[in-house]
Structure 1
């Protein structure tokens, strides 16, 4: 629905980019994910607070991780960015809850993390939220943005289809993040998706098939499922644009490049933001540029 395979054919699959997934952890040996996980850390009390054990004991995080980056190997399912690297940060417990401090610590860890080859996090994906505006969490997100990390967050699932009523969850409502609402496969807004004046775009979030516990797969619904579509898309957009522009993108440029790849569904901005994520909305202009370059080369 977001037309990622068309960009895969152009050679853009998220390779070299790291997405930090702040969630319930991940099943590290799931066949679709084990080649994509580059590291992780536990910020909960699960497993006797063992920092090295970021195994998913709820299922949500494994599902989110699969939508972002499940490998393209002809088996199971495939994520939006099948060559992306995943940094798994377990801030939510087996019950699906976590402390604000755990989330804050996860964000700072993602900012400061460096891979053996100097890799750093380019995108933080958070399919979580709560009712409270926590200044320390807001400051952590601002720090991430200052370090040129795109922060993608779920809008929340308290929607009631009343356009005049704002449903607000944090960190999604912060201006610095990319807040994602959900639609179904028909392009209709999900009945549960939050509406507010900070929605940036919408993505598929109803009956999404992805990886799950015990090497299995499951269909889940929520803005939690829409968010990883955008996080994975950001990774391949970074590939595409940095190849096109021949320089590293800043966070404002990442945000701009994601938003421009949207298509209006005819709803108000508070309901759909800029519209549905459609990755090919920019492909034609990129292809035109390549054709122009080929013509110039031929003339020379």
Structure 2
């Protein structure tokens, strides 16, 4: 087979910062802290990040990384060196699981475990064969979630079968939705276009009207504009793009896995976890072509419950007021 290539999903480096100390707005906006308050921080959940590698010595990430492998030709193809020379992979890892250590930033699931699978080189280019091998490696070591902020235009049956095999092993596969072409139309992008993948788009939660774009295949959207996270050489950076949205959903799933296990008394299947994720979205009146099922809000169910309880209270109050009125007449 001819080995086609894919590239990193749409993203833009905005600025690099040496020191920060704040909760990234994307982590805050999806309601991650509400699950932290309930004791859910992703502990015991293993996530394979298929990307450009990672700054494994970053203070925010070194305690989260439990292994990795290099599938590129960089560092003479040494499988045990998965250093990031691009910055994209390090940024993605930080949004997923930067440690809650009192400094820098915090990831969505700050106690989740990361497996760094370097499949893209420093130019952001990855061979399909590297992605496929990384997926099968993820299956072999029994990860819970695969995060993939890459995409290519070629529909590859071997890639599709690797995705299907991951799903058969109850692994959630989270991918970046299609980018736009020169005409502003959504491009075909794999693996996100495969039905088995969770396809994620990017929005600016602070300005939804400005960011809405029609996509070919979209399950939900997450924060992807001005996202602050970890970067090369122990620094931090703000980036924007669908690449930045994917790790928010990956981290959210890590939080939900243990939460749902407690709620249901068992580990949920891949399809059940997908359903639990989608239950925690709000579309704000936009079309599925714009936001899929909606924007990820981990507190969406709580909001619905509060509204339901308030409605019941209002009904009960009306009944009491009506009863008093009848007695007075």
Q: When the two structures are superposed, what TM-score results if normalisation uses the length of structure 1?
A: 0.89
Decide whether aligned partners of structure 1 residues 286 and 245 sit closer, same or farther in structure 2, where only a CA change above 3 A counts: farther
Decide whether aligned partners of structure 1 residues 279 and 39 sit closer, same or farther in structure 2, where only a CA change above 3 A counts: same
Q: Which position in structure 1 is the counterpart of 2:189?
A: 169
Q: Does 1:271 align with 2:290?
A: yes
Q: Larger deviation: 278-287 or 237-246?
A: 278-287
C-alpha contact 2:180 2:186 (8 A) present in aligned 1: no
> Aligned pair count?
278
Deviation of residue 166 (structure 1)?
3.8
* Match among 58, 61, 73 for residue 30 of structure 1: 58
Matches within 5 A, 1:138-177: 138-158=160-180, 165-177=185-197
State the alpha-carbon separation in 1 of the partners of residues 222 and 212 from structure 2. 13
Deviation of residue 249 (structure 1)?
1.0
| Cα-to-partner distance string for 1:44-86 (whole Å, 9 max, x where unaligned) | 0000000000111110000000000000111000000000000
Gaps of 5+ in 1: 114-119, 288-300
Q: When the two structures are superposed, what TM-score results if normalisation uses the length of structure 2?
A: 0.81
Point out the structure with max Rg over C-alpha.
Answer: 2
* Match among 229, 234, 237 for residue 218 of structure 1: 237
Deviation of residue 190 (structure 1)?
6.5
State the alpha-carbon separation in 2 of the partners of residues 189 and 176 from structure 1. 29
**Local SS of the residue matching 2:43:** coil
Matches within 5 A, 1:57-76: 57-76=85-104
C-alpha contact 2:204 2:211 (8 A) present in aligned 1: no
Decide whether aligned partners of structure 1 residues 254 and 192 sit closer, same or farther in structure 2, where only a CA change above 3 A counts: same
State the alpha-carbon separation in 2 of the partners of residues 286 and 20 from structure 1. 34
Matches within 5 A, 1:162-241: 165-188=185-208, 191=211, 195-196=215-216, 198-241=217-260
RMSD: 1.9
| Cα-to-partner distance string for 1:143-181 (whole Å, 9 max, x where unaligned) | 00000000000003326896xx44321111110000000
Q: Which position in structure 1 is the counterpart of 2:76?
A: 48
**Local SS of the residue matching 2:154:** coil
Decide whether aligned partners of structure 1 residues 121 and 286 sit closer, same or farther in structure 2, where only a CA change above 3 A counts: farther
Q: Does 1:246 align with 2:265?
A: yes
Q: Which position in structure 1 is the counterpart of 2:32?
A: 4
Decide whether aligned partners of structure 1 residues 10 and 283 sit closer, same or farther in structure 2, where only a CA change above 3 A counts: farther
* Match among 114, 130, 134 for residue 86 of structure 1: 114
C-alpha contact 2:151 2:189 (8 A) present in aligned 1: yes
Deviation of residue 286 (structure 1)?
9.0
State the alpha-carbon separation in 1 of the partners of residues 153 and 73 from structure 2. 22
State the alpha-carbon separation in 1 of the partners of residues 61 and 210 from structure 2. 28
C-alpha contact 1:124 1:149 (8 A) present in aligned 2: yes
Decide whether aligned partners of structure 1 residues 252 and 189 sit closer, same or farther in structure 2, where only a CA change above 3 A counts: farther
C-alpha contact 2:179 2:186 (8 A) present in aligned 1: no
Q: Does 1:259 align with 2:278?
A: yes
